[in-house]
A = this chain, B = another copy of it.
Amino acid sequence: MQSHPQIHVEYPSWIGEVVAFDALLASREDRMRLAIRLARENVLRGAGGPFGALVVERDSGRIVSAGTNSVLRYNNSVLHGETVALMMAQQRLGSFTLHRDDFPAHELVTSCEPCAMCLGAAHWSGVRSLVCGATRDDATSTNFDEGPVFPESYAYLEERGIEIVRGVLRDEALAVLHEYRERGGPVYNA
C-alpha cells in the first residue's frame, strides 16, 4: 500500500535575512517596500515567482507573517505569496480567522494585485484591509494570468467591510516583474 501524500510548508531558509519580525512598519509604503523586497529576493535566489506578501496588524504595523510565491519550491500551485502569508498568520495565531473581537485588525500587503484564488483567500482569512502594489495589467503585461478577477470582485470584498488600497509603490513592484522576465524565470501558469 502506498503512503499518503503530506503537505509541509516552511518559510524559505533566508527569511530571517529579509524580514525583521519584531519590526513595526508604520506606513503602507514601508509595508509595501518589504513585500516588494520579498518578491525580489524570491527571484534573485531562484526560489520562485516574483511575488511577496505580508500580514501586519493594521494599526500598529507589527509584522505577523510573510509569504513568498512557493509554487516551484513545493510543486504546489496553491502556494502564492498571499496564501502562504495568510496561512502562516493563522498558524501563528492559532485561529482560522484573523477577524476576532480579541484580535487587532489585520492587513494583507501584496506586491501585486491578487489572482482570483488569493482574492478569495483574502476574503475568508478575516483581514480587514488589502494593500496592493503592481496592478493586474502589470501582471498580464509580464505574462502572468490573474484568473477570473473582475471589478465586481473587489466591490464584493468592500461591501463586506474590507478596505482596498491599490497602486502603492506600483513602479517598484512592476520592476520586479520585469526583472523576473528578463532573467527567464518560468511563467508557470501562462
Interface residues of A (CB under 8 A from B): 2, 4-11, 15, 21, 65, 71-72, 74-78, 83, 86-88, 90-92, 94-97, 115-121, 123-126, 147-148, 150, 152-153, 156-157, 188-189
Contact = CB atoms under 8 A, between A and B. Distances in A.
A153 B94 CA distance: 32
Residue of A9, A86, A94, A126 with most chain B CB atoms under a 10 A cut-off: A9
A126 B188 CA distance: 10
A100 to B, nearest CB: 12
A39 to B, nearest CB: 18
Contact of A116 (B72, B91, B96, B153): B153
Residue of A11, A74, A121 with most chain B CB atoms under a 10 A cut-off: A121
Contacts of A78: 78, 83, 86-87, 121, 124-125
Contact of A96 (B76, B97, B115): B76
A88 B189 contact: no
B10 A6 contact: yes
Contacts of A157: 148
Residue of A2, A90, A124, A152 with most chain B CB atoms under a 10 A cut-off: A124
A124 B11 CA distance: 22
A86 B75 CA distance: 11
A142 B75 CA distance: 35
A11 B3 CA distance: 11
B4 A15 contact: yes
Given A8-B8, A65-B5, A124 B189 contact: yes
A86 B78 CA distance: 8
25 contacts: A4-B10, A5-B92, A6-B10, A7-B7, A7-B87, A7-B88, A8-B8, A8-B9, A72-B96, A75-B94, A75-B96, A77-B97, A77-B121, A77-B124, A78-B83, A78-B124, A78-B125, A96-B188, A116-B123, A116-B153, A120-B120, A123-B147, A124-B189, A150-B150, A150-B152
